[in-house]
A and B are shown apart, each in its own frame.
Chain A
Amino acid sequence: MHIMEGFLPGPWWQLWFAISIPVILYGIHKLNRMMEEKRDLLPLLAVAGAYIFVLSSLKLPSVTGSCSHPTGTGMAAILFGPAISAILSMIVLLYQALFLAHGGLTTLGANVFSMGIAGPVIAYLIYKIGMKAGLNFYFTVFLATAMADIATYLVTSLELALAFPAQSGGVIASFEAFAAIFALTQLPLAIMEGAITALIFKYVIKVKGDVLVKLDVIGEAGLRKIQELTT
């Protein structure tokens, strides 16, 4: 999903930096507070970051006959919220930009926005709404993480469309062209990502369910209900 190095002209790449930097700063603030108050959550933070590392390294073949990779950000977003997810995504994006020529430094702001902010915000909102509505926990996790994946690619398409409007049809026509590549390729990958993330959550609950209560991801009663269902 990464916009490649140099493929966003000014003023667009500066604009996306301007939007992403405050979120990253807020994320650093949140992270610092968490490190001081709840140090026992750090292993789970490492797992969430590592999950993004693994999933974004897997380029998977899709129905369109091209390859793309899932983002893995939905898990971090549900556990730690969008701002911390933005930091974790930025670390992965930097690794790929510097060592793999995948994405880039000028496009880092735009890529952090689509993968680290837009996707996680969608995941976070869907998760909160789904749990309020009393949907099944694992189904909500599936929905939230799959939609985060799709949202990331739609936003990437929008970022490219804004920078490269078509001569006839403008931004909308070029958005359709980019989304046709990205979103369609992503659909099966997003379903896979959602399903596997739901499974990971099952294991997190099994080995360390109390952490989720501490993070306000689920309530005490909700946790007990899920544990009864799965054991």
Chain B
Amino acid sequence: MKLEIIVAVIVLVFTAQFLYISSTTDAEFGGADGQAEGVIEELTDGTYEPIAKPFWEPPSGEIESLLFALQAALGALVIGYFFGYYRGKNQSTKSTESSQSNQSTESSQST
């Protein structure tokens, strides 16, 4: 349990940090990638032309969120599935082991 508490505290501090920054400054919380683009523009005096463009861009912020959410959902699904699979497997091997040992000692107690 100790580790869970430490992690929970870190997550809480992180949330508090966000609430503090967002209420005391007018930060936009844009992407750091976009800021890097700004630095490139400064360094090259705005002369840099990207050598390629994305084939396809999400037509709106909503579609972009959709695809990001899809990415997270797929990942979470796989993680949850296999953790559940391992857990169930452990429990079933444990219960067969204990029922076998019960039979061998002819104890009437069931688990």
Contact = CB atoms under 8 A, between A and B. Distances in A.
Interface of A: 1-10, 13, 43-44, 46-47, 49-54, 56-68, 92, 95-102, 104-106, 138, 160, 164-167, 174, 177-178, 181-182, 185-186, 188, 191-192, 195-196, 198-199, 202-203, 207-208, 230
Given A61-B29, A101-B56, A160 B83 contact: no
21 contacts: A1-B33, A3-B36, A4-B33, A5-B52, A6-B50, A8-B51, A43-B85, A51-B75, A53-B71, A53-B72, A57-B75, A58-B72, A61-B21, A65-B21, A65-B27, A65-B28, A138-B3, A164-B43, A164-B44, A178-B39, A192-B11
B7 A59 contact: no
A63 B17 contact: yes
Interface string B2-28: 011011001100100110011001011
Contacts of A182: 32, 36
Given A47-B83, A177-B43, A207-B90, A98 B56 contact: yes
A30 B74 CA distance: 25
A53 B75 contact: yes
Nearest to A4: B33
B58 interface: yes
A227 B74 CA distance: 30
A217 B58 CA distance: 40
B3 to A, nearest CB: 6
B61 to A, nearest CB: 11
Interface string B75-96: 1111100110111001000000
A100 B78 contact: no
B7 A195 contact: yes
Closest 9 CB pairs of A and B: A65-B27, A6-B50, A53-B75, A54-B75, A50-B78, A101-B54, A6-B52, A101-B57, A207-B86
A198 B7 contact: yes
B77 to A, nearest CB: 8
Contacts of B69: 57
B76 A104 contact: no
B71 A95 contact: yes
B46 to A, nearest CB: 12
Contacts of B83: 47, 203, 207
Contacts of B74: 50, 53
Instruction: Specify which of A6, A10, A196 lies most central, judged by the most chain B CB atoms within 10 Å of its CB.
Output: A6
Contacts of A196: 7
B28 A66 contact: yes
A4 B37 contact: yes
B43 A66 contact: no
Contact of A199 (B3, B39, B67): B3
A154 B28 CA distance: 23
Contacts of A100: 58, 64, 67-68
Nearest to A59: B31
B22 to A, nearest CB: 7
